């Protein structure tokens, strides 16, 4: 199964990004359009945030490990950013990461962080 095929199986509203060295090693991730749209599903609206504001959400990787997503605006310029705890243990430079959700009976939505590249490689290895 390819990355594109996996992406087609996700909920209609999901975020995605391809990790660069800076994203992985300095935790500086620009919140692209798909990330900002996804964040709104969890009441995180960058347009309503002030410089220096940060909103943290609990999430899980597909292997069950917990992580935290921090959506924030930088203090100086107000750049929209995202930080993902534990990402170095889950992904490598060049990997495609997707943010999706499942319906949880208590919270209504639970965020899942998916390393699409690793999932595609695992599926290829099984064939």
Summarised one tens digit per residue, pLDDT across range 15-49 is 899 999 999 988 889 999 999 989 988 899 999 99
Question: What secondary structure does DSSP assign to 76-106, as a single string?
Answer: TT--EEEEETTGGGT--TT-EEEEEEE--TT
Contacts of 103 (CB under 8 A, 6+ apart): 109, 110
The pTM assigned to this predicted structure is 0.85
What structural domains and CATH numbers belong to the chain?
3-126 (2.40.330.10)
CB-CB contact of 37 with 55 (8 Å): no
Q: Quote the pLDDT of residue 127.
A: 55
């Amino acid at each position: 199964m390819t990355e594109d095929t996996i992406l087609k199986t996700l909920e209609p509203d999901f975020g995605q990004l391809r990790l660069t060295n800076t994203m992985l090693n300095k935790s500086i991730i620009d919140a692209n359009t798909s990330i900002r749209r996804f964040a709104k599903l969890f009441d995180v609206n960058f347009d309503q945030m002030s410089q220096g504001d940060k909103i943290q959400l609990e999430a899980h990787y597909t292997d069950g490990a917990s992580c935290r997503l921090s959506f924030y605006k930088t203090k100086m310029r107000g750049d929209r950013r995202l930080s993902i705890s534990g990402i170095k243990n889950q992904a490598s430079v060049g990997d495609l990461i997707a943010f999706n959700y499942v319906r949880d009976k208590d919270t209504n939505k639970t965020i899942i962080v998916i390393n699409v590249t690793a999932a595609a490689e695992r599926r290829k290895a099984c064939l």
